[in-house]
Amino acid sequence: MGAASYYGREFHGRATASGEKFDMNALTAAHKTLPFGTRVRVTNLANDKSVVVRVNDRGPFVEGRIIDLSYAAAKKIGMVEAGVVRVEIVVVK
């Protein structure tokens, strides 16, 4: 468990650490150590909404945060307005 943030328009179309272009409308995420392509379920602990995302980038680079979600993923779990929320992440097959 830890804090999640999201990134969107300002990075849309830029290259991710995996080499693919960032798409703010795709269900993707940045994680510091999980291999690219790993799918994780991210649950917003404030409202119990969850989304499955694919890791395709590195980050977050802010202390205390464990994952950065794409805008689309953040919207699915209702965190866009808050910006940063506490989440649980679980690797899925």
Q: CA 8, CA 64: separation in Å to the nearest integer?
A: 20
Q: What is the pLDDT of residues 40-89, one digit of tens each?
A: 999 999 999 999 999 999 999 999 999 999 999 999 999 999 999 999 99
Residue 93 has pLDDT above 80, yes or no: no
Q: Which two tokens stand for residue 66?
A: 């464990």
Q: Does residue 35 have a cis bond before it (omega within 30 degrees)? A: no
* Helix, strand, coil percent content, the chain, rounded in steps of 5: 10, 40, 50
Q: CA 59, CA 69: separation in Å to the nearest integer?
A: 10
Q: What is the pLDDT of residue 90?
A: 98
Structural domain boundaries in the chain: 2-92
What is the third-level CATH fold of 2-92?
Answer: Barwin-like endoglucanases (2.40.40)
- As a whole number, mean pLDDT of residues 34-44 equals 98
DSSP 87: E
